Structure formats: structure tokens, C-alpha cells
Amino acid sequence: MALSDIEIARGATKKPIQEIGARLGIPAEQLVPYGHDKAKVSAEFIRSLEGRPDGKLILVTAINPTPAGEGKTTTTVGLVDGLNRIGRKAMVCIREPSLGPCFGVKGGAAGGGYAQVVPMEDINLHFTGDFHAITSAHNLLTAMVDNHIYWGNALDIDVRRITWRRAMDMNDRALRQMIGSLGGVSNGFPRECGFDITVASEVMAILCLASDLADLERRLGDIIIGYRRDKSPVFARDIKADGAMTVLLKDAMQPNLVQTLENNPAFVHGGPFANIAHGCNSVIATRTALKLADYVVTEAGFGADLGAEKFFDIKCRKAGLEPAAAVVVATVRALKMNGGVKKEELGQENVEALTRGCANLGRHVANVRRFGVPVIVAINHFTSDTEAELAAVREYVSRLGADAIVCRHWADGSAGIEALAQRAAELADSGQGAFRPLYPDSLSLFEKVETVASKIYHAAEVTAAKSVRDQLASWEAQGYGHLPVCIAKTQYSFSTDPALRGAPEGHVVHVREVRLSAGAGFVVAITGDIMTMPGLPSSPSAERIFLNDHGFIEGLF
């Protein structure tokens, strides 16, 4: 019987984290250890890297996710192991998983099979405490807002217009909508409030976009916590919370170093949502990695329509990053689902449906190329894939002028992904990359949404109520017009209808609501229902999680 992810991870021969750091040229005293297999890189060491040349940045993205699974993180980790296997100095740079969802549906987020980052239990639980620090900083600001109102509200905040909520790293639907400050004079002024899961916090997005602690503090100060009756914004800086929030985040700001199962280095740092935020690991981790390795393989959230677009238009634009190549991950199973096959029938060969579903892959490939980034397709192999199916994908992709390479890293580790590693390195080194964002800063906010919707989603039209358009115009008047947009849309489709698989055309994107993340530096356009606080299922995995007699965690993965 095949070993489970956690069994494989437990069997890993981990090297002391100082050895992993040494391979990147990080002296042991510049690593802040968390246990023997995790460490943060010191701010001092990161500062010392300034002026060094950058390695090549390779993005791993994917087709629209389906219940069949794509294996994006697995491929990111596998590709780094493959690159090291063929003699290249490469490292992983990915997001930290959120604690809350671990207790809902079984499954962690640190790769899988023989392509994982370890220690996977720690990474999926408290890790180095970054998310807890973000939760604390977020809630300190809220406490200070309510406290300010309690003691006289000198800033004249309209309690009906407070937009800053609270945060918890837990799936708890009871916290979505609440009334707080009940119970009389000493508990404050009752008002509607609620919690978002920590990954949805603007503090998370800020930490992931800030270049250093000074920039972090500036951005935290720029957070808008709400508005006065005259609709003028009140900032976290006005509440005087930015300094203490920075103090709470000073360690969380430093990238976390861990290793793959094959002892290659990995930064796992930051983890904003890929719908209401930009969905990539921290800028500081990516920039540091580029100074330490010749190839840095990173990942964007969800499918390329959401994840890669935001990676390019928000993170790369703002941080001045120039990705040299991109890998689009697909599986035969997921392509068949995109071609209309039901989950129960995925085990049967179906070349016709597969070919139909390839339209989804084709559009993602074309979209990534729009950003001036050369593309390669990774077919993450499943044992049920047939030769005819694999050949059909290869042929489809080759007609697009790209390579599709079958990868067996899940089963075989680096030995199963050599070909992809070889081709990805060639592509990254080819000089073909000429990165450019999709739209200029100067476009109006609504035009930015329209550009993404037409060019990436192939929508016919973007609609929005007058109030939404007025809100955008008002932010433009306040000087926020230059910001990029962050579209919150279902990850399951190019359209706003999660059931519409494949490559739909001519659909309408309706912007229901817009939000300004002034500290993070983007405007969120929300289409459809976006959940910022998940709930638990009827039989949450938490019920089956326990420590066994050997002190190992059971049921988490």
C-alpha cells in the first residue's frame, strides 16, 4: 500500500536547518532557529544582500482547480528538487498554510507524495507563529479603535462606518456577523462587528507586500479603519496603532527557511487569500531567495486567471520582480473534468472530453504569455492516466508552440521531474522573458477591472451599480487611482459562475462591491459571494485528529 503524505514526511531524513542555510551561504548566527528544522533569516543578513545579482524567478501556476486536484505545490517543490538534481542551485518560495482549514477538511498544504516541504506537521500548525502575530496585530488595531470610541471618540469615527473587523485563524461561521460591546456603559458602544479568517486580513497582505520593517510600518499606518460622517477616511496611523503593530510583526516579517524531502532549501512565508488579496508568498522571501539561489520557484494561488494575474499585476508590478518563465500545471483528470467528465468517471479513458477540457489549459497558457513570460506545461502524472490521454495533451500543447512534460515527482521525487527541470531552466535562461503587467497604473480603476475581465477572463462586459462606480471615482479623487485591482472571483471558472468549466466566452462580470486595501495597495473588486470566514463541515476533521502513543499527529493529513 502506498504511504500517506504524513508517513512519507515522517520518514524524511532531515538535515539540521543550519546545514540547509549554509548551502545558501547564510551563517548559522544569522539564522534564528525554531526547533532544529525551521529557522528565520535575520533582517541584518537580508540587508547585507543588497547589490547582489538576482537569480531567475520561475512561477508555477495552474489550470482552474477542480475536485480532481492539480498538485501545484507538489510540482513547485518537485521542480526545485529536479533542478538541484540536474546541478542547478534552486530553492522553493511558497505560502504558509492557514491553521483554521486544517480542522475542517482533511489535508495540509506542503506538497504531497515525494515532493513535500518538511516538517509538514509544524508548517501546517503553528509553524513559526507568523499567523498568530498577524492575528494579534490585526486585533490590537480593532481593540484600539473601540477603545478610542469608548474614551470619547476624538477622531469622530462614525461607528456605522467602521470597516476594520477582527481576525481569527479558525473556521468559525458564528463569528461572521456579531454585535459587540453589549452589557452596558463599561463595555462600550454596541455596534455590528465580525471576524475574518487571518489569511483574509489586510495585515497579511501588507506583510506579504512590504519590502522591510519601515515599509511595513508605513503601510500599516495607511490602513483605513473606517470613515467619519463626512466619509473622510480614518487611518490606523490616526489611532496610533502602527508602531505597536510593527513591534508585534517584527519576527513574522522574516522569511522562514525549511527543506524539501530531498534537503533542498525552501522559504515558506506569508499566505494571503488569492481572491480578496493577491495570493502569493511574501515579497521579502522572494527577493531574498533571488539573492541566494540561481533559480527560485514560486507559486501563485488558485488557477492562473486569479493567481498568476495577481502575481504579475500586483506583486511583480509593485516589487519590481521579473519572472523569467512560468509552468502551468495540469492533470489529465482535471482536464477531463473541464471537458465535462464527472468525478466518479475520471478513472476511465476519455480522450474526447480531455481534448475539450484542454481549452481551459490553452487559455491559461495564452494568458500567461500576454505578460511576456514564456510558458511550459507540466502534466502531473496520475496512475490512472492512459498513454493516449497523455499523448493528446502533449499534442494539444505542442500546437500552442509549447512543451507539455509528464512529471512523476509525486511518486518518484526529483527522478520523476528531470525533464521538466531541464526545460524550465532552459526557458528561464533563454532570455525570452520580457515581463510587462497587463495594464498601466494610469488606467482608471474600472478600466483596470475591464481589462482583466476581457483579456484574461474573456468576458464580454463588466457591470456595476452606480454606487460602486461612484465609490471608485471617489477613491480616484482621493489619490488611490494608480493602484492595481484585485478581483475576487470564483476560482473554479474563468467566469463568475463556478459551474462553467472549460474556456467560456462572452460572459458578464458583475462587480457587486469594491473595497480599498489602502495599506496593502490595491482595490478589491468583488464578484459573487466571497467568503472571508469559512465554516466547518458537518463532520470536521478535527474530530479525528489526535496524538498517538508515539507522540505523532494522526488524522491531520
Residue numbering of the annotated binding site for ATP: 66-73
Cα separation, 352 vs 197, whole angstroms: 41
Is 331 in the active site?
Answer: no
- 255 or 502: whose CB is closer to its own copies? 255
State how far the Cα of 30 lies from the Cα of 33, in Å rounded to an integer.
Answer: 9
**SS3 (DSSP) at 529:** coil
38, 40, 56, 72: the active-site residue: 72
**Of residues 88, 95, 336, 408, which has the active-site annotation?**
95
C-alpha cell at 556: 491531520
Amino acid identity of residue 220, one-letter, is L
Tally of residues, the chain? 557
The question of whether 74 is a catalytic residue gets the answer: yes
**Nearest CA-CA partner of 194 in 184, 204, 182, 179:** 179
Tell me the Cα Rg of the chain. Answer: 23
Q: Are strands 485-488 and 522-526 parallel, antiparallel or unpaired?
A: parallel
CB 534, min distance to its own copies, A: 10
Minimum CB distance to its own copies smaller for 171 or for 338:
171
Residue 279 beta carbon to its own copies: minimum distance, rounded to whole angstroms: 23
Q: Which residues of 21-41 are buried (b: 16+ CB within 10 A; e: fewer)?
A: bebbebeeebbbbbeebbbbb
Beta strands 233-235 and 224-228 are antiparallel
Q: For the CB of residue 536, give the shortest distance to its own copies in the complex, in Å.
A: 4
- 250 catalytically annotated: no
CA separation for the pair 425, 294 (Å, rounded) = 10
For the question of residue 72 being annotated catalytic, the response is yes
> Measured from the CB atom, is 44 or 387 closer to its own copies?
44
Catalytic residue list contains 302: yes
Pairing of β 546-547 and β 513-517: unpaired
Q: Which of 12, 39, 241, 274 is catalytic?
A: 274
Q: How far apart are CA 437 and CA 522, in angstroms?
A: 15
CA distances from 387 to 328, 345, 406, 484 (A): 20, 18, 11, 43
Answer yes or no: 135 catalytic: no
**Minimal distance, residue 158 CB to its own copies, in Å:** 16
Binding residues: 66-73
Nearest to 277 by CA among 255, 310, 313, 319: 310
SS3 492: coil
- Which run of H or E residues covers position 460? strand 459-464
Is residue 512 annotated as part of the catalytic site, yes or no?
no
User: Which H helix or E strand runs over 395?
Assistant: helix 387-399
Cell of 461: 462586459
Give min distance, CB of 556 to its own copies, in A: 7
Which position among 45, 195, 410, 446 bears the catalytic label? 410
Closest distance to its own copies from the beta carbon of 47 (Å)? 10
A 10 A CB-CB count for 316 gives 24
Q: Which is nearer to its own copies, 84 or 288 (CB)?
A: 288
Cβ-based nearer residue to its own copies, 244 or 319: 244
Is 274 known to be catalytic?
yes
Q: Is residue 176 packed enough to be buried (19+ CB in 10 Å), middle (13-18) or exposed (0-12)?
A: middle
CB count, 10 Å around CB of 352? 13
Q: Are strands 522-526 and 513-517 parallel, antiparallel or unpaired?
A: antiparallel
Q: Cell match 458537518: residue?
A: 538
Q: Which is nearer to its own copies, 173 or 231 (CB)?
A: 173
Q: Which residues pair with 167 in a beta bridge?
A: 196
The Cα–Cα gap between 447 and 57 comes to: 29
Strands 513-517, 485-488: pairing is unpaired
CB of 193 to its own copies, least distance (A): 7
| Residue (508 or 545) nearer to its own copies, CB | 545
CB of 501 to its own copies, least distance (A): 25
* Alpha-carbon 490 to chain mean position: 15
Which position among 164, 235, 267, 302 bears the catalytic label? Answer: 302
- Whether the link from the prior residue into 119 is cis, omega within 30° of 0, is yes
Beta bridge mates, 328: 61, 377
Of 131, 195, 382, 494, the active-site residue reads 382
Closest distance to its own copies from the beta carbon of 550 (Å): 11
Grid cell in block for residue 547: 496524538
- Residue with Cβ nearer its own copies (251 or 497): 251
Residue 94 or 141 with smaller CB distance to its own copies = 141
Looking at the Cβ atoms of 80 and 110, the one nearer to its own copies is: 110
Q: In the bound complex, what is the minimum distance in angstroms from residue 122's beta carbon to its own copies?
A: 8
Annotated catalytic residues are: 72, 74, 95, 106, 274, 302, 382, 410
